[in-house]
Amino acid sequence: MISQRFRDRIDAGQKLAERLTRYAHRKDVLVLALPRGGVPVAYEVARSLGVPLDLFLVRKLGTPGQEELAMGAIASGGIRVLNEDVVKSLRISEEKINEATRKEQRELDRRERAYRGDRPMPDMQGRTIILVDDGLATGTTMRAAVRALRARNPARIVVAVPTAPRDVCEEFEGEVEEVLCASTPEPFWAVGAWYEDFSQTSDEEVRSILEKASREFEEHA
């Protein structure tokens, strides 16, 4: 068990990057952040490794009448992943699934435009993708991201987060090629408990960080 508190997401990203140096300056590597909190963490990782940074958005598909229960998720690039066990056990119709998909797709599209602007989604086929968030609690969002990302045929997926419960980290070992959880405190409580400053990341900050990362990478390419 490794317990560590981080000053903020910048500090967390810098410490995470120290554990990922084997991926530095590799042309096949791409860092993808899960917005919004994962963006400042991922920026420090990408900057330290000298590799590009982009986003991978995920929206949960809530079960009708039980919105907190995920019947699936959609992700950047028009990918939809369904939890077939939930769909079958609750006999959720295709119509209801499509209705929820359309609703969440509108919000995902809005965020894509707000964060990425006119920049196209990068090609991920055959690349090593480092998926970064500011922490995992249950791992649901990251799991949806991994499953959706698989459909884009990367060569290797690395899940990298500053903090998470040990058992959640271990669950990903069978789903991706590498899992890196820098700190696995017990008891875990919540992601924010392991940051001195866990203030919310705004849409404007996300846009600003992405533009900065793109500019810096092009300058050093």
User: Which has more pLDDT, 58 or 179?
Assistant: 179
pLDDT at 221: 67
Q: Is 147 helix (H, G, I), strand (E, B) or coil?
A: helix
Q: What beta strand segments (E) does the chain contain?
A: 29-33, 53-55, 58-63, 66-75, 79-82, 128-132, 156-163, 178-183
Residue 125 CA to residue 157 CA, distance in Å, equals 11
Phi and psi at residue 156, to the nearest 5°: -155, 135
Q: How confident is the model at residue 1 (pLDDT cuts 50, 70, 90)?
A: low
Tokens of 161: 């987060």
Q: What phi and psi, each to the nearest 5 degrees, are found at residue 60?
A: -75, 140
Residues paired with 73 in a beta bridge: 60, 81
Cβ–Cβ under 8 Å, residues 127 and 29: yes
Q: Which residues of 167-194 are buried (b: 16+ CB within 10 A; e: fewer)?
A: ebbebbeeebeebbbbbbbeebeebeeb
| pTM across the whole model | 0.88
Q: For 117-144, how does the pLDDT look when each residue is reduced to its tens digit (9 = 90+)? A: 888 889 999 999 999 999 998 787 888 8
Give the pLDDT score at 20: 98
Topology classification of domain 59-116: Ybab; Chain: A; (3.30.1310)
CA separation for the pair 77, 41 (Å, rounded): 23
> Distance between terminal CA atoms of the chain?
38
| pLDDT score for 169 | 95
Please tell me the distance from the alpha carbon of residue 5 to that of residue 199, in angstroms, as a whole number: 15
What CATH number does the domain located at 9-56+124-220 have? 3.40.50.2020
Q: How many helices (H) and strands (E) does the chain have?
A: 7, 8
Q: Return the domain boundaries, the chain.
A: 9-56+124-220, 59-116
Spatial contact of 54 and 29, defined as CB atoms under 8 Å apart: no
